[in-house]
A and B are shown apart, each in its own frame.
Chain A
Amino acid sequence: NAGVTQTPKFQVLKTGQSMTLQCAQDMNHNSMYWYRQDPGMGLRLIYYSASEGTTDKGEVPNGYNVSRLNKREFSLRLESAAPSQTSVYFCASSTADRVGAGELFFGEGSRLTVL
């Protein structure tokens, strides 16, 4: 089982460039999430999708957009990257019908550096 797959694993961008992080899960989960992890801090929720066709802002949505392409795929887009977006990004999915109510399954992370 692949679980949650994120691409790319590493990316270096220049300020102002755009890029999309891809995420796919093969567990038939309804809810999917994008988090960022910065040194010394816990995970912060960027956006989530409780079910196919819906997306909602999390704690730190500014500078990001998302697309829930289908039940399997949830992408995160940086339209104009800034150095403050240098971080490790994690995609996760969950069996829980209610957002945040159940176990999360994580991808291996995408390490983004913005110069």
Chain B
Amino acid sequence: SQQGEEDPQALSIQEGENATMNCSYKTSINNLQWYRQNSGRGLVHLILIRSNEREKHSGRLRVTLDTSKKSSSLLITASRAADTASYFCATDGRNYQLIWGAGTKLIIKP
């Protein structure tokens, strides 16, 4: 079973636009993480946000967490072609093992 569910499943935007993807989860968590996966590669960690945090920034990335709605969002500002990838959220709500969503596939059009 999957804890995190990303929305949308796929997103296509023009270079320079902002991209927002969402993650919902079902049980209480200690932290939530976002990862990026380029085609044919391994996953790369982007941000970890703890349950007592509401917002976190890293460069062009902004992550918010709303524990009352059991949801998180990842915003990528001023998108670039290199941002084309799949993005996954992962939560640790069950036995502290990370539970993964199916991902959002982001395509940045030049």
Contacts and interface: CB of A to CB of B under 8 A. Distances in A.
Interface string B18-41: 000000000000110101000011
Contacts of B95: 99-100
A100 B101 contact: no
A98 interface: yes
Contact of A58 (B31, B97, B103): B97
B102 A101 contact: no
A87 B98 CA distance: 19
A102 B43 CA distance: 14
B102 A108 contact: no
Contacts, number: 59
A4 B43 CA distance: 11
B98 to A, nearest CB: 5
Contact of A43 (B41, B44, B100): B100
A107 B42 contact: yes
Given A43-B88, A90-B42, A108-B42, A103 B98 contact: no
Interface of B: 2, 4, 30-31, 33, 35, 40-45, 48, 88, 90, 92, 95-103
- Binding site secondary structure of chain A: loop
A58 B97 CA distance: 8
Interface string A58-85: 1100000000000000000000000000
Nearest to A43: B100
Contact of B96 (A41, A99, A103, A108): A99
Interface residues of A, number: 24
A108 B48 CA distance: 21
A106 interface: yes
A41 B102 contact: yes
A101 B30 contact: yes
